[in-house]
Each structure stands twice: as structure tokens, then as C-alpha cells.
Amino acid sequence: MTGKVWLTGAGPGAPDLLTVRAMRLLQQADIVFHDALVNPEIVAIAAGAERVAVGKRCGRHSTAQRFINKRLVDAATTHRTIVRLKGGDPMLFGRAQEEIDALLAAGVEIEVVPGVTSALAASADTLRSLTARGLSRSVTFVTPRVGAGEDRSNWLHAAAAADTAVIYMGSHEAAAIGAALIAAGRDPAAPAVLIEQASLPARQVLPGTLATLGAAASRLSGGPALIVVGENFRAVAARMAVDAVPLQLAEPASGASSRRQA
């Protein structure tokens, strides 16, 4: 094995929310395997690398996990710096463990580079803290989504028990999620907010309650979205515009010096 795999978080979408480490790795990579949902602007930072889209496109065909594992292992025999780029943080609902285990079993060197998970971008976009003194001392990250052949998830217990629940991969069944939480004992008037495309210019924040989640979800435009439920999200105002920080960091160091001379 000649190569090392860097399992890297791409953050929630805005390129300037990449970590500096992730950006350096993208600039140095020989090959990048990225999830289909990663912002193309971020993938483009790896200008000198072979770029391969694999897997994870909500509801559409995605490369089988076993095949992704194999491609990563194979790449380690032919490339030196291999970046496996996943949305948000790779260790949260990213099937990172399967890839880590496959690489370890094959004797491939691997390192994980954390990223900003979308829950944190959603909290930022709403200006509401996931925790709040006296209101929220517990946060849970859940998903109702289960893979083929998996047992039913017990996400509902966790989501009903936590002060703040962040629900990943649930926006397509938002009405059912609202109803399930109400049936599990949560107040139908409990604040529930949908945040679509958190951190990006096209973001949408749709505030409401558990009872109105379904209606709010009908206003989504098909991008990735989270549901956040919790008392501290009562005061959320609908917001759309984002003042994005221009992505100057992404310019290669050599370009910067030649511009200084110009």
C-alpha cells in the first residue's frame, strides 16, 4: 500500500465552512472520492486531482457501499493522497464506520478530518442555540431512516426525550415525524423548524410547530433539510439571505504570490 486515505468532512455546504485542513488536503489530493451531494465549488478546490462522484444522492441511485469501500482500498495501491469527502462531518450519519473498517482490514492507513455538521449550521442560520440555560440541556441527533435489512430505529424515544432534537434525513416524511412525536407525548405546539440548505445562499428557514411540520415541508425546494424540535426554537423568524464570506482561502498559494507581483 502506498497511499493514505483521509476521510474528510466537507461541512454543511458553504465552501468557507471547510476546515483549513480539509482545504489543504483537497489542494494536495491525487484523487478525491466525493458524495454526490457535496457542493461542486468545494470539489473544484481539488483542481489537480482526479475527482470521482460516489454514492449518497437522496432517493436516487447511489454507488453500493461495498463498491465504494473497494475503490478506496484499490486507490491506496495506485495513489498517495486519497481524499474521501463527505458532507458535514463524516462521523455523523455518513457511513464512515463501514469505510474505516474496510480500510483498516485491508491495511490501508487512514485518518479522519472532522467537518461542521449540518445541525450546527442550522443552529447558526436560525440564531437559536441548540442548548439554552433553563430551556435545553440535552441535544440529540437522530434519523428515522434505516437501511435495507436493518432493524427499526428507536429514534423516536431519543427525539421525544431530548430537550432539542435534530432530525437528519427526515424532511420527506416531516408530517409523519410530527405526528409520531405528538403520539409519543410531545406537545403539538412544540416549536419545530425545517432548515433547508443550511449555510448556503439558497437556504430556507421554515418555522412552525410539530402540528404544522407537514405544511411547512410542502414549501421545501428539494435540497437537504433538517428538522429541529425544541423550546428554544420558538422565536425563530423565517430568514433566507446569507452574507457569505468570499472564498479567498481556496486559491492555491502559488497563485497568491504571482498576483502580488502583478
Dihedral of alpha carbons 228, 232, 235, 240, sign: negative
For ligand SAH, the closer of residues 3 and 120 by Cβ is: 120
Contacts of 251 (CB under 8 A, 6+ apart): none
DSSP label of 84: E
DSSP 202: T
To the nearest whole angstrom, how small is the minimum distance from the Cβ of residue 60 to ligand SAH?
13
CA 51 to chain centre: 19
Cβ closer to ligand SAH: 79 or 165?
165
Q: What residues make contact with ligand SAH under the rule CB under 6 A?
A: 12-13, 58, 86-89, 92-94, 117-118, 121-122, 168-169, 195-199, 224-226
Catalytic residue positions?
35, 56
Closest CB to ligand SAH belongs to which residue? 88
Supply the minimum distance, in Å, between the C-beta of residue 124 and ligand SAH.
Answer: 11
Residue closer to ligand SAH, measured from CB, 150 or 260: 150
Q: Which is nearer to ligand SAH, 3 or 10 (CB)?
A: 10
Is-contact 207 227, C-beta < 8 A?
A: no
CB of 120 to ligand SAH, least distance (A): 8
Q: Where are the alpha helices (DSSP H) in 111-189?
A: 118-126, 155-161, 174-183
**What is the C-alpha separation between 194 and 251, in angstroms, rounded?**
34
Shortest separation between residue 186's beta carbon and ligand SAH, angstroms? 20
